[in-house]
Structure formats: structure tokens, C-alpha cells
Amino acid sequence: MLYSSVTPEAKRIAFREGLASGTLQQFPGAFNPLSARLIEEKGFDGVYISGAVLANDLGLPDIGLTTLTEVATRAGQIARMTDLPAIVDADTGFGEPMNVARSIQELENAGLAGCHIEDQFNPKRCGHLDGKNVVDLDTATKRIRAAADARRDPNFLIMARTDIRAVDGLEAAQDRARALVDAGADAIFPEAMKTLEEFAAMRDAVDVPILANMTEFGKSELFSYDELASVGVNMVIYPVTLLRSAMGAAERTLETIKAKGTQQDDVPNMLTRARLYDLVDYEAYNRFDTSVFNFQVPGKH
């Protein structure tokens, strides 16, 4: 009932244990708090909160328009609904190193287990698009150092994302990853790797956990769990996958209503009323106060 009773501190410890376990950790992207419940129920290791999804959900493109307040608020709403660790995409950290420091403290307050900060220029863009720009090494490392120094819980995970592969190539990505680890990054997110061999090369470059971004319609092939595990990747995100599925389903249902004058044909694809109430734990509220909450699940509908 209500929110997760697992504390943010405990989630951060669980996240670090997962990354150290030698088992590839799968983090699908939640597009709202309820979908985080679904991710937990299906047995995943954690919840990813995508900057692209937060922006797109507001009807905006993913070009750094969302504010720290918007991101921390929404990420907090998602994180508190699940017992799993949740990590959030903090884009470029929302400003200069001082702003990055404040961002980290706000994200800690919001109950996140960690975040990633990237080395793109502002305005940033999706890492799988062309024409990206990255900041110089000094600026990139200062962002990460500011983030690492700002946290109050030493287990809050600071992940450094580098977008340099698409700009200067793989060797530059390896060099930058090493420098970001020296600056205090606990993990590395090498963006827009093209092949499994490139993930393997990044794995060789650093001793900290690395992340694979399996976003659809991007630069990386959609490698399977076994493929990513075979090259030593520690964690995989499916950042926009659920939003794309949900919006795809919504579009088809709207088309059905328009074409047929009723949604009837699409009802079998929908989450039933019972299932929806199950996900929001309706029965627990009913037990808590039967005089107010007297709902009973009507059959299978």
C-alpha cells in the first residue's frame, strides 16, 4: 500500500550488490510510476528513468529542455513506487559543476539509487543521433568530480556517460572513460557503441561496471542478454521501450475506435480492470479501511 517501504539507502546498497554480482542487471525504462510496479512484478533488477521519456511524455523533444525540478520530481514519484533501485538520466547535470553538485543532492533527496551525467554540449540531443558535440576533457571530468563530491550517501551511484565515440572514435572513448573513472565515476555508460566488440573494448578499458543502452532505432544493434553478458557488460537499459510499446498500443486503439465506432476489438489487448487494481494494490486499501474502500474485484473484468 502507498509507497515502497524499502529505504533509498537500502536500494542503493542492493544496486551496488547487483552490479558486483557478475550477473547482467536489466533495467527497463519506466514511463510512469505504475509501470515501475510492472517492471518489479516481472522480476527485473531495477528501474531506469529516461530523460528522453520524461521530455517526450511532456510533449517535448529530448534536447535538454526539462529542468532539474521536473526531472527530480518525476523520478522521485517513480522511485518511491517500487522496491527496486531506480536510476535516472541527469543529462549534462543541469549546468555548471556547482549546478551538478546541487542536482546530485536533489536526486538523493528524491530517493534515487544513482544517476548518469554525460559529456555532451548543451543543448544536448539523443545519443543515437548525428551531429553531437562533446565538451573537452577538463569540463567533463569537473562535472563528474563535482557530482562525486556532492553526494552525502557514499552508495549513491555516479555513472559517467560519454558520447565521444560518435565524435572521435572508440580509442577516444576508452581514454575518456579512464579519465572519468579517475575523476570519481563509479560506472561508465559508453553511448552509441556499434558492435559487441566495441562493448568488449570498453570493458577492457576500465575496472568499473559498464552499461549497454539497448534503445530501438538507434546506432546499436539490439543485443540479447546472453550477448551482452558474454562481453562482460554489467547492466543493460531499455530506456524508451515501454513508452514506445504503450504509445503504439494507444495509437492502434484510437484507430480501432475511429474505424469501427467501438474499442471492442482491442479489449483483449488491454490490461483488465482486475489487473489494474491488482497493480495499484486496491485490496490493501480495502483492508485498511473497509468503510471507505469497499471495492470488490468484479469477476475477471
Task: Give yes or no for residue 52 binding ligand MIC (CB under 6 A).
Answer: yes
45 part of the active site:
no
Q: Which of 28, 64, 76, 127 binds ligand MIC (CB under 6 A)?
A: 127
Which one-letter amino acid corresponds to residue 125? R
Query: With CB under 6 A, what is the number of residues at the site for ligand MIC?
Result: 13
Q: Which of 29, 46, 51, 209 binds Mg ion (CB under 5 A)?
A: 51
Strand ranges for the chain from DSSP E: 25-28, 47-49, 86-89, 114-118, 157-162, 187-190, 211-213, 235-238
Stretch that binds ligand MIC, among 72-80, 210-218, 244-252, 277-285 (CB under 6 A): 210-218
128 part of the active site:
no
Task: Give yes or no for residue 155 binding ligand MIC (CB under 6 A).
Answer: no
Query: Which of the residues 16, 37, 48, 119 is marked catalytic?
Result: 48
Task: Give yes or no for residue 50 binding ligand MIC (CB under 6 A).
Answer: yes
213 part of the active site:
yes
Pairing of strands 86-89, 47-49: parallel
What track of x and - describes contact with ligand MIC for positions 233 through 262 (by CB under 6 A)? ------xx----------------------
For 174, residues 6+ apart whose C-beta sits below 8 A from its C-beta are 201, 202, 204, 205
The b-or-e profile of 1-37 (16+ CB within 10 A means b, else e) is eeebeeebeebbebbbebbeeeebbbbbbbbbbebbb
CA dihedral sign, ordered 250, 256, 257, 263: negative
What track of x and - describes contact with ligand MIC for positions 185 through 204 (by CB under 6 A)? --------------------
Footprint on this chain of Mg ion (rule: CB under 5 A): 51-52, 89
Footprint on this chain of ligand MIC (rule: CB under 6 A): 50-52, 62, 89, 126-128, 213, 215, 218, 239-240
